[in-house]
Amino acid sequence: SYELTQPLSVSVALGQTARITCGGYKIGNRNVHWYQQKPGQAPLLVIYRDTNRPSGIPERFSGSNSGDAATLTISRAHVGDEGDYYCQVWDSSAVFGGGTKLTVL
Amino acid sequence: EVLLLEAGGGFVQPGGSLRLSCVASGFNIRNYVMSWVRQAPGKGLEWVSSLSGSTGSPTYVASVKGRFTISRDDSTNTLYLQMNTLRVEDTAIYYCAKHLIAGSTNWFDPWGQGTLVTVSS
């Protein structure tokens, strides 16, 4: 079965750029989707099909995908961006990465 | 506005049963694939089951096959998850989610707020 690997945690200084990676074998050949989950809340879609933002998601959120890694980039990080981030692909069923906890310092 | 509202979680002993429900508003679930995704305490997301809108065909993760049954009631626009022979490892928040599909990929938007299932003796 297909596996996705994410770092357990990423820290970023306030106002700087955070990058969260999602590794998988030839993941660049797949579509990757990203979810944000704040404590006590349901996941929220922030990027779909590698680079697309749903309506209401700030332009500070962007995505890329190539080779063996997809990346979620959060520019000008806010304290409000703190939470867990999950990548997901579809492989006859949903496959999720283990999640990355983002801390804004 | 598209909304999903789960209910039915609770405390149950190992071997027991629960039925979760997810009421959808703002769209007809019969026109979409719908899923249940769970999250054990302090852990990540795990897909549990999906139900095809057009065919009504269910799929399950291996760990729940034969124990869980996904279904829907089109008259009330409600998705269900019947969970039998529950195990301690089924303890989780259970979310329902609407699929969006493009080509060979699926993603989830929106998600419900979740309902907590606790299996313990």
Are B61 and A93 a contacting pair at CB < 8 A?
Answer: yes
Q: Kindly state whether A55 is in contact with chain B, defined as any CB-CB distance less than 8 angstroms.
A: no
Select the residue from B105, B113, B116 to test the A interface by mutation, using most A Cβ atoms within 10 A.
Answer: B105
Cβ–Cβ under 8 Å, residues A47 and A71? no
Give the model confidence (pLDDT) of B4-38 as tens digits: 999 999 999 999 999 999 999 999 999 999 999 99
Q: Kindly state whether A31 is in contact with chain B, defined as any CB-CB distance less than 8 angstroms.
A: yes
Are B47 and A35 a contacting pair at CB < 8 A?
Answer: no
Residue of A nearest to B116 (CA): A40
Q: Kindly state whether A5 is in contact with chain B, defined as any CB-CB distance less than 8 angstroms.
A: no
* B26 secondary structure, DSSP code: S
Mean pLDDT of B61-85: 97
B 62-91 near A (Cβ less than 8 A): none
Phi-psi region of B60 (alpha: psi -120 to 50; beta: other; left: phi over 0): beta
φ, ψ of residue B12 in degrees (nearest 5): -145, 150
Instruction: Using alpha carbons, select from B71, B17, B18 the residue that is nearest to residue B7.
Output: B18
Beta-sheet strand order (sheet of B18-25):
B3-7, B18-25, B78-83, B68-73
- Between B53-57, B64-68, B78-82, B91-95, the lowest mean confidence (pLDDT) is in B53-57
Mean pLDDT, chain B, integer: 96
Count of CB atoms situated within 10 Å of the CB of B81? 26
pLDDT band of residue B102 (cuts 50, 70, 90) is confident
Mean pLDDT of A69-91: 97
Residue of A nearest to B44 (CA): A98
Cβ–Cβ under 8 Å, residues B3 and B111? no
DSSP letter string over B58-96?
EEE-GGGTTTEEEEEETTTTEEEEEE-S--GGG-EEEEE
pLDDT band of residue B103 (cuts 50, 70, 90) is confident
Torsion of CA A36, B47, B21, B50, to 10 degrees: 120
Alpha-carbon span B60 to B108, nearest angstrom: 16
Are A95 and B47 a contacting pair at CB < 8 A?
Answer: yes
Give the model confidence (pLDDT) of A25-58 as tens digits: 999 999 999 999 999 999 999 999 999 999 999 9
Q: Quick one: how far is CA A18 from the chain centroid?
A: 10
Q: A28: helix, coil or strand?
A: helix
Residues of B in contact with A2 (CB under 8 A): none
Cβ–Cβ under 8 Å, residues A44 and A61? no
Q: What's the start-to-end Cα distance of chain A, in Å?
A: 36
State the smallest CA–CA distance between residue A40 and chain B in angstroms. Answer: 9
Count of CB atoms situated within 10 Å of the CB of A36? 21
Residues of B in contact with A41 (CB under 8 A): 113
pLDDT beyond 90 at B67: yes
The CB-based long-range contact list for B65-72 (8 Å cut-off, 24+ gap) reads B70/B36, B72/B29, B72/B30, B72/B34
Q: Kindly state whether A89 is in contact with chain B, defined as any CB-CB distance less than 8 angstroms.
A: yes
